[in-house]
Chains A and B, each alone.
Chain A
Amino acid sequence: MIRPDAPVLLEIRDLQARVEDQPILKGVSLTIRAGEIHAVMGRNGSGKSTLSKVLAGHPAYTVTGGTVRYVGDDLLSLEPELRARAGLFLGFQYPVEIPGVSNLEFLRVATNARRAGKGEEELDTFAFEDLVRERLQVVQMDPAFLERSVNEGFSGGEKKRNEILQMALLDPLVAVLDETDSGLDIDALRIVAGGVNHLAGPDNATLLITHYQRLLDVITPDYVHVMAVGRILRTGGKELALELEERGYDWVDAELAALERTPAEVG
């Protein structure tokens, strides 16, 4: 839902980042207001996951330029855990397995960390069990998954559902979902998309990274951005996704080539 007067939650300006010595993000700008759903699309390797991890504060990436303001704060100066407590959520493209750490315990600690960030009191084990059982229904997940180690031995789709369960518990202000739809069967896709729609509201915002129109059929984006070699090359409404579905990314090369020429011609 686009409301021009809605508060800005996330404002990315000319963000540049590298991993080791290799520049990956080369100037990303993006403004997200409360209530909005944004989709980011783009070829493999164009920098979508990098953008999401830089936002969440992954230590492997070094920001080399630009700014990110998150609800008025300088996001980049915050430790990753503080970003999370402030309501920034990243649904990982490849959630890692953490053997030996119980999923239930992990979810409880994470939930309480977020609650502390909102100034709410800690939930004890019993109160948390009630909450988690209720939220399990959003993703129609079997409570048996709570007893296992975090993501350990989960199937690809089960890991993605566990991500959405976390999102449902953590009540994010800005959720960045990195290819949460890939690896899901048709039913699971519907469940996960239903979960995202259920959690999206006028006060929060969602940034969906996806390759497929089928997700955008169920979650209608307000904006679609196309990323290429570390930049947002084009922004449009939901029709842009349909256009991509039809035409593929070949046009991107032409635009990129034009972009490369521009500075020289201008200069």
Chain B
Amino acid sequence: MASSATVGDLVSQPYKYGFVTDIETEKIAKGLSEDVVRLISAKKNEPAFLLDFRLRSFRQWLQMEEPDWATLGHPPIDYQEIIYYAAPKQQEKKASLDEVDPKLLETFEKLGIPLSEQKRLSNVAVDAVFDSVSIATTYREKLAEHGVIFCSISEAVKDHADLIEKYLGTVVPGNDNYFAALNSAVFSDGSFVFIPKRVECPMELSTYFRINSGDTGQFERTLIVAEEGASVSYLEGCTAPMFDTNQLHAAVVELVALDDASIKYSTVQNWYAGDENGKGGIYNFVTKRGQCRGDRSHISWTQVETGSAITWKYPSCVLQGADSVGEFYSVALTNNRQQADTGTKMIHVGPRTRSTIVSKGISAGHSSNSYRGLVQLGPKAVGARNYSQCDSMLIGDQAAANTYPYIRSQQPDASIEHEASTCRISADQLFYLQSRGIAFEEAVSMMVSGFCRDVFNQLPMEFAAEADKLLALKLEGSVG
């Protein structure tokens, strides 16, 4: 009977991006050793300083242990079962898009990221990364006119080695943590952004990461540098096919903001999350950190985390420059058997530094969603301030939400505010909306977007509506 089946019948829509592109791939043998690290570096013709960086990181990684402090559970990861380099077979990066394998272009088109000249997103430059390599970056010439560098990190290593040597590993050192060390040893590709002094980047920059191979780890590395007075808004998107095995994704993102510079980094993470029984899905262990190196600099993280079987991620700000500002706006949604342990660290070093944390966790199904955040005020952070707000929304009665706020302050007079709340979407609320003619999906989406509004308002306009829809889609069939 329809009325009682309303909720039950709304079976989760299959993950839209779960297809696999059938393309010939060049892979190295699985397993990790110093030779593999050397091989990756050799494939990319890297300069000696980079190979050194990789090898140092690798040796340190060998000494390290996988962290186990997060509220996450998964079978042990066998690092020797993973392939560390996979690239679609095409020679050299293409000078023009016409030469890129049409299958790849088609793949990105299917993902809603058209790369071809005619169909490009207007005012968004895109770097498209497929497995371990970047296959195309749009609008490069236009950006170059403004002195903006936007290219894959592999190209940057070739063409802007000085900048890479100067900045890579300065925010997240090679031995920062287990997953960062692993990434530093084997990272394959990612994006590099450089905004010179006093330049306001004329368009949104965006990198789209696509994992295609089933047995390959994804280790991308992103570096964004904004010089004095420069500003940029950057968006990262990601999807992966549905495999019933788990894939490891261990990325590192470093942001550097000099005096008066501003970087806004947004992520819409939609890796495959596994099926409703928790089979398959991406293990997402990511280190993201921004350094407000200059006075009055500003770094803002906005993330919408909807995918992955496991999310372990704490985009952080080191507020070194006086009067610098760090922000973290997060929506993390978990459904079925997904687990997320995510949050931020705001490290106040300089005087009068300010940080804002707004975290919205939504847990449905049997999932578990934890916020873990650190606010640290050092001895010189006189007059520093923090405001944190952590809200959880529970859907159904099987899901779990936790909040772990840590405060370490050496400033007795500092202003640190923390607010937290928990609410639940009930079947009665949804029925109330439905009984007013509002369809189930729309009802969920109305409630969820009300809850997430403070965060969605921070997303670039083009993506705010997308985020709304994405959440609604992820929640289908989760209430009742």
* Interface set, chain A 89-103, CB cutoff 8 A to B: 90, 92, 95-102
B450 engages A100 (CB within 8 Å): yes
Question: Could you tell me if B450 and A54 are in contact, using CB atoms closer than 8 angstroms?
Answer: no
- Shortest Cβ distance from residue B171 to the other chain A in the assembled complex, whole angstroms: 36
Please determine whether B3 and A80 come into contact, CB atoms closer than 8 angstroms: yes
**A100 interface neighbour in B2, B432, B434, B447, Cβ under 8 Å:** B447
Q: B480's closest neighbor in chain A, by CB? A: A59
Judging by beta carbons under 8 Å apart, are B435 and A61 in contact? no
Given A76-B2, A80-B3, A92-B432, A60:B437 Cβ within 8 A: no
Residue A113 contacts which of B2, B5, B437 (CB distance < 8 angstroms)? B437
| Residue-wise interface mask of A (53-91) relative to B, using a CB-CB cutoff of 8 A (1 in contact, 0 not) | 010111111110000000000001111110111000010
CB distance from B475 to the nearest CB of A (A): 15
CB contact under 8 A between A57 and B439, given known A100-B453, A106-B433: no
* Shortest distance from the beta carbon of A84 to any chain B beta carbon, whole Å: 4
A109 within 8 A of B: yes
- A57 contacts B436, C-beta separation under 8 Å: no
Q: Which residues of chain B are near A96, meaning CB under 8 Å? A: 426, 428-429, 432
Q: Are A80 and B434 in touch, CB under 8 angstroms?
A: yes
Q: Which residue on chain A has the smallest CB distance to residue B7?
A: A59
A170 and B437 within 8 A (CB)? yes
Given contacts A96-B426, A98-B432, contact A76 B1 (CB under 8 A): yes
Chain B positions within 8 Å of A116 at CB level: 437
Name the B residues within 8 Å of A63 (CB-CB).
1, 3-4
| A27 in the interface (beta carbon within 8 A) | no
Instruction: Report the contact-size class of chain A (Cβ under 8 Å from the partner).
Output: 35 or more
Whether A106 pairs with B480 at a CB distance below 8 angstroms is: no
Which residues of A sit under 8 angstroms from B427, Cβ to Cβ? 59-60
The listed residue with most B CB atoms (<10 A of its CB), out of A56, A62, A63, A100, is: A100
Is there an interface contact between B450 and A81, defined as CB atoms closer than 8 Å?
A: no
A residues less than 8 Å from B451 (CB atoms): 99-100
- Would you list which residues of chain B between 389 and 447 have a CB under 8 Å from chain A? 423, 426-429, 431-440, 442, 446-447
B437's partner among A76, A101, A105, A110 (CB-CB below 8 A) is A110
**Residue in B3, B433, B446 whose beta carbon sits within 8 Å of that of A58 in the complex:** B3
Contacts of B434 in A (CB 8 A): 57, 79-81, 84
Q: How far is the CA of A226 from the CA of B156 in the complex (A)?
A: 81
Indicate if the CB atoms of B450 and A80 lie closer than 8 Å.
Answer: no
Contact partners of A166 in chain B: CB under 8 A: 436
Given A84-B434, A84-B437, A96-B426, also A57-B6 (CB < 8 A): yes
Q: In the bound complex, do residue A57 and residue B428 qualify as a contact, i.e. CB atoms below 8 Å apart?
A: no
Pick the contact of B435 from A57, A62, A97, A117 — CB < 8 Å? A57
In the complex, what residues of B have CB within 8 A of residue A106's CB?
433, 436, 438, 446
Are B438 and A109 touching (Cβ within 8 A)? yes
A26 at the binding interface (Cβ < 8 Å):
no
Interfacial chain B residues near A78, Cβ < 8 Å: 2-3
Given contacts A110-B438, A114-B437, is CB(A77)–CB(B4) below 8 Å?
A: no
Known: A99-B423, A100-B447, A100-B451. A77 touches B431 (CB 8 A): no
A213 at the interface (CB under 8 A from B): no
Give every chain B residue within 8 A of A102 (Cβ-Cβ): 450
Give the residues from 107 to 125 in chain B that come closer than 8 angstroms, CB to CB, to chain A. none
Of B6, B446, B447, B453, the contact of A80 (CB 8 Å cutoff): B6
Q: How far is the CA of A97 from the CA of B426 in the complex (A)?
A: 10
**Interface assignment of A149: CB less than 8 Å from any CB of chain B:** yes
Given A90-B435, A92-B432, A96-B432: A149 and B4 interface contact (C-beta under 8 Å) = no
Whether the Cβ atoms of A59 and B6 lie closer than 8 Å is: yes
Q: Which of A54, A106, A149 has the most CB of B within 10 A?
A: A106
Say yes or no: A59 contacts B438, CB within 8 Å. Answer: no
A267 to B433, CA, bound (A): 47
User: How long is the Cα–Cα vector from A165 to B438 in the complex, in angstroms?
Assistant: 17
Minimum CB distance partner of A169 in chain B: B436
**Chain A residues, CB < 8 A from B435:** 56-58, 80-81, 83-84, 90, 92
Alpha-carbon distance A259/B439, docked complex (angstroms) = 42
Among A56, A90, A113, contact of B438 (Cβ-Cβ < 8 Å): A113
- B residues in contact (CB < 8 Å) with A: 1-7, 423, 426-429, 431-440, 442, 446-447, 450-451, 453, 480
> Would you list the 8 A-B pairs with minimal beta carbon distance, nearest first?
A100-B450, A113-B437, A57-B3, A110-B436, A84-B437, A80-B434, A85-B437, A101-B450
Q: Can you spell out 23 A-B residue pairs with CB atoms less than 8 angstroms apart? A: A57-B431, A58-B435, A59-B4, A62-B1, A63-B3, A78-B3, A79-B434, A80-B6, A80-B434, A80-B435, A81-B437, A81-B438, A81-B440, A99-B450, A100-B451, A101-B433, A101-B447, A105-B446, A106-B438, A109-B446, A113-B436, A116-B437, A150-B432
Additional A-B contact list (17), CB under 8 Å, known A96-B428, A106-B433, A170-B437? A56-B431, A58-B431, A59-B427, A60-B4, A60-B427, A62-B4, A80-B3, A80-B431, A81-B435, A81-B437, A81-B440, A100-B451, A100-B453, A101-B433, A105-B446, A113-B437, A149-B450
